[in-house]
A and B are shown apart, each in its own frame.
Chain A
């Protein structure tokens, strides 16, 4: 019995200490001021975490928009409300699906890669050697990646939404015969820039920061062995996905809780 209590205590202390380290890590790395060289490093990471995630985001966005239109049409047509298809597709994507699914894809594609990359640098003592050369890895390795994730996810989210709406148009209008004018005009009437689009972008900013923070911290804090890298990469995807889903509920409650 004492053993279980002590194990529980140790696990609690480990978790708290890990959260504390992650908090300090974020504060130390996010305030690294951008320099001319820092800008180049950030640009390179924008390519790695942002541009290289565009393909998966576009393809996923297209299919999700198409499925949404197909499912939405089968429900709406029963009420004679198939003209509201554009409104349904756009609101679902802009408010929820684009920020959340893009963040989940980002965690799987870029987050896991960031953890593995930084973890391998740690395992091969590259981070230590950088420290011994007098260069802070938080400034040179972590900060550009953190800022790249923070900036690129909102852009990916917007791309996801745009392609999703186009996918909905292909299925709804071109295939199922919903009137083109009502698809667009219902969407224009119902989607509010501040309440819907801006809130969606704010969500994606929060997700971008959290997912990238989890990814770089897991890489930086891992046990530098092959097993350690594998576990940390898995942890990144699991923690980041759960954080995105949990935060989505909190943010949705804050943003849309009083609209009904």
Chain B
């Protein structure tokens, strides 16, 4: 990877209780590209996004954004850094007491001194980009899941951030909404020249728009490369994940005692 680096994750260790989530993860997110972080459910992809955004603190290691160590910043400096970031949440996370227009206007109102007329123009442009200019008076409770995510995308890019973090942007969408979101993410990214980190396990959609992909499993980076190189990768883990095979190195069954021993266990030994 010869592109300049926007985000660098170095030797990241993170655990919850006695469970190690990450055991020495190293990542480099290139400037102006879409980088996908993929992996089976439960591998800590969203946790990684939260570590990059400074919402969680690692046990060891560093996350550098533009050379700044996110976890060494004061609370105030961290909030200043976050003004250069946008995040699209899995649920949309729209403010339920504000309508669509005010949700998108929120970052502009709190971080800029722009006059109302200019804020209105910017918000309408962002809503036009996601196709929801006509829905500006609706409340979040009146939106479908796909619409909520499009509004959240408009809000995430309202301040034209340098870095956008996407948390499972395509999960739970019908084919039309998913197609719309895939195109939107790609177009918005190209138009604004954003650096994007996208956590997802929707393989086909993600590989179709990502410039670079990291696959995470067992707390480490299992493979990385362009979508083309990963499609022809021979590693059993990578093949199982990229081609969606139900059984392989990642077992179908959650670890359990022997099935027959379990079934034939005498009464009183059920657990």
Contacts and interface: CB of A to CB of B under 8 A. Distances in A.
Given A124-B96, A126-B95, A136-B75, A131 B82 contact: yes
5 contacts: A133-B82, A133-B83, A134-B85, A134-B110, A134-B111
Given A126-B95, A126-B96, A128-B93, A134 B87 contact: no
A43 to B, nearest CB: 15
Contacts of B55: 128, 131-132
Given A125-B89, A129-B87, A134 B53 contact: no
B93 A124 contact: yes
A135 interface: yes
Name the interface size band of chain A: 10 to 19
B173 interface: no
Central interface residue in B91, B152, B155, by most chain A CB within 10 Å: B91
Interface of A: 37, 120-121, 124-126, 128-136, 140
A129 B110 CA distance: 14
B89 A135 contact: no
A133 B110 contact: yes
B91 A125 contact: yes
A120 B96 CA distance: 10
Contacts, number: 57
B131 interface: no
A134 B108 CA distance: 11
B107 A128 contact: no
Please indicate which of the listed interface residues A121, A124, A130 has the most CB atoms of chain B within 10 Å of its own CB.
Answer: A124
A184 B96 CA distance: 51
Given A128-B55, A129-B87, A135 B93 contact: no
Place the interface of chain B in its size category.
Answer: 20 to 34
B19 to A, nearest CB: 17
A245 B111 CA distance: 43
B106 A133 contact: yes
Contact of B93 (A37, A120, A125, A136): A125
Contacts of A130: 95
B144 interface: no
B82 A132 contact: yes
A125 B86 CA distance: 14
Given A124-B93, A134-B82, A134-B85, 6 more contacts: A126-B96, A129-B89, A131-B82, A132-B87, A133-B83, A134-B111
Contacts of B110: 37, 133-135, 140
Interface centre among A129, A135, A140 (most CB of B within 10 A): A129
B91 A132 contact: no
B116 interface: no
B80 interface: yes
Contacts of A132: 53, 55, 82, 85-87, 165
Nearest to B79: A134
Lowest 4 CB-CB distances: which A-B pairs, in order?
A: A129-B93, A125-B93, A134-B83, A134-B82
Interface string B148-163: 0000100100000000
B103 to A, nearest CB: 10
B80 A134 contact: yes
A182 B89 CA distance: 68
A126 B80 contact: no
Interface string B61-83: 00000000000000100011111
A132 B159 CA distance: 12
Interface-centre pick from A128, A132, A134, A135 (highest chain B CB count, 10 A): A132
Interface in B161-208: 165
Contacts of A131: 53, 55, 79, 82
B38 to A, nearest CB: 21
Interface string B84-121: 01110111011110000000001100110000000000
A5 B81 CA distance: 45
B122 to A, nearest CB: 15
A120 B94 CA distance: 12
Interface in B20-78: 53, 55, 75
Contacts of A37: 110
A132 B86 CA distance: 7
Contacts of A125: 89-91, 93
Contacts of B85: 132, 134
